[in-house]
Amino acid sequence: MSLALAPAAEPKKLNILGATGSIGRSAEAVILGAPGRFEVGTVASGRDAKNLARVAKSLGARFAAVADPASYSELKAELSGSGIECGAGPEAMVQAAVRPADLVVGAIAGAAGVKPTYAAVEAGLDVALANKECLVCAGDAFMRAARRKGVRVLPMDSEHNAIFQALGGEPIENVETMWLTASGGPFRTWSAEAIAAAAPEQALAHPNWAMGPKVTIDSASLMNKGLELIEALHIFAIPAEKLDVLVHPQSIVHGMVSFADGAVTAGMANPDMKAPIAHCLAWPERVATSVRRLDLGAIGTLTFEKPDLDRFPALRVAMAALRAGGAMPTILNAANEIMVAAFLNKKIGFNDIAREVEAVCDDFARRNATGAPADVEEALAVDHIVREKSLTRVKGVGG
């Protein structure tokens, strides 16, 4: 028996960028659990051709695109006889993004997701955004284009989606403080010395969420929360000084809003990405899901604490970039991607991530190379330069 509510008169048409990642898999579950509510036109992923073909067939997509041209032959073979068109490379990814749809899910991880998601905005398509880099790397340009095209950007990250619901349509001028919550990750109770010696396997052992490796490492360092603050600034057009972070190890409250009259509203759910995904896919309606229902009586206690910026300096570095604005978030994001990859490859230590990201940011600040990118192309150009600089630093640390 399906949990879905009665189907709408017309199914909502979706394009899914990042169909094989954790967001894509959860979106697939929501869509399959709501027969008649959604129609999938395109699916796209980075290089996982086999799984992309499986998702395309599972969801009845008409076009599948893979970013890596070397994966095209495998994708074509996997789709043979299905009637599903396919393509590969940057142009195919943009094609997957801009085909007619009511909503485009932007869930390709990293800077690779910026161009196709931005192309969807330029095509006048509403976007459910789960790609941080669109806003951290090119937030000003991305949201400026959304306003120019009359495009709605729905926040799909659990924290921003919780705040979106907690706002209840209130004008942002009525907001006193907007809190994003952090689980604290696997190192919340660890000493500074133990954190410094942490191995990638330990950093990947998140207590509450199942995510990709990059975002899991960001969660362990609390960099993820800093990137989310930058996202929130752009999504909600709120001043940086009204944004804050609370550590909440139960991961039940995902975001809170304090208003000028002293009232506080909170977005709450069990830690399951199907909840915010379903909210975005069905908005402004709702669709039932298999998400485990929240039983506060069974949970009993919810706890909150301020983040420790000494043990988790990555959040401090990210908050400085948030306040600085301009190109600094772009620089922060690019340097962090390189340093996280280096840590996962055991070329640098865990504490080197924040230390080296801060050093890269400081270097660009000294050279006054921190003006806001004029458009997405310029943001991606800055991203490329910072990555090259960061790779050079990795060689120095590793050497």
pLDDT above 60 (res 8): no
* Higher-scoring residue by pLDDT: 169, 206: 169
And the tokens for 53? 């073909």
Q: Using one digit for the tens of pLDDT, what is the confidence trace for 313-362?
A: 999 999 999 999 999 999 999 999 999 999 999 999 999 999 999 999 99
Q: Using one digit for the tens of pLDDT, what is the confidence trace for 203-215?
A: 999 887 777 788 8
Percent of the chain whose predicted confidence (pLDDT) is above 90: 87
Q: Indicate the pLDDT class of residue 398, thresholds 50, 70 and 90.
A: low
218 is known to lie in a ligand binding site: no
pLDDT above 80 (res 3): no
What average pLDDT does range 70-78 have in this prediction? 97
* Higher-scoring residue by pLDDT: 113, 371: 113
Q: E strand or H helix at 352, and its extent?
A: helix 350-366
What average pLDDT does range 355-377 have in this prediction? 90
Instruction: Please give the pLDDT value at position 294.
Output: 95
Fold of 325-399: Rna Polymerase Sigma Factor; Chain: A (1.10.1740)
What is the residue whose two structure tokens read 């069905």?
Answer: 282
131 is known to lie in a ligand binding site: yes
Residue 238 dihedral angles phi and psi, to the nearest 5° = -115, 145
228 is known to lie in a ligand binding site: yes
21 is known to lie in a ligand binding site: yes
| Per-domain residue ranges of the chain | 12-156, 158-314, 325-399
**CB-CB contact of 294 with 254 (8 Å):** no
What average pLDDT does range 151-173 have in this prediction? 96
133 is known to lie in a ligand binding site: yes
Q: Using one digit for the tens of pLDDT, what is the confidence trace for 284-297?
A: 999 999 999 999 99
2 is known to lie in a ligand binding site: no
Instruction: Please give the pLDDT value at position 330.
Output: 95
Instruction: Please give the pLDDT value at position 45.
Output: 95
**CB-CB contact of 153 with 127 (8 Å):** yes
What is the residue whose two structure tokens read 């070397």?
Answer: 70
What average pLDDT does range 376-389 have in this prediction? 93
What average pLDDT does range 187-195 have in this prediction? 96
Average pLDDT for the chain:
94
26 is known to lie in a ligand binding site: no
251 is known to lie in a ligand binding site: no
47 is known to lie in a ligand binding site: yes
108 is known to lie in a ligand binding site: no
219 is known to lie in a ligand binding site: yes
87 is known to lie in a ligand binding site: no
CA gap 230, 248 in Å, rounded: 20
Look at residue 7 and give its three-state secondary structure: coil
258 is known to lie in a ligand binding site: no
389 is known to lie in a ligand binding site: no
36 is known to lie in a ligand binding site: no
**CB-CB contact of 139 with 244 (8 Å):** no
pLDDT above 50 (res 396): yes
**CB-CB contact of 253 with 164 (8 Å):** no
**CB-CB contact of 4 with 24 (8 Å):** no
**CB-CB contact of 184 with 178 (8 Å):** no
pLDDT above 60 (res 386): yes
Instruction: Please give the pLDDT value at position 4.
Output: 46
Instruction: Please give the pLDDT value at position 2.
Output: 40
46 is known to lie in a ligand binding site: yes
* Higher-scoring residue by pLDDT: 73, 207: 73
* Higher-scoring residue by pLDDT: 4, 308: 308
173 is known to lie in a ligand binding site: no
Domain 12-156: CATH architecture, name and number where available: 3-Layer(aba) Sandwich (3.40)
Q: Using one digit for the tens of pLDDT, what is the confidence trace for 25-71?
A: 999 999 999 999 999 999 999 989 999 999 999 999 999 999 999 99
Percent of the chain whose predicted confidence (pLDDT) is above 70: 97
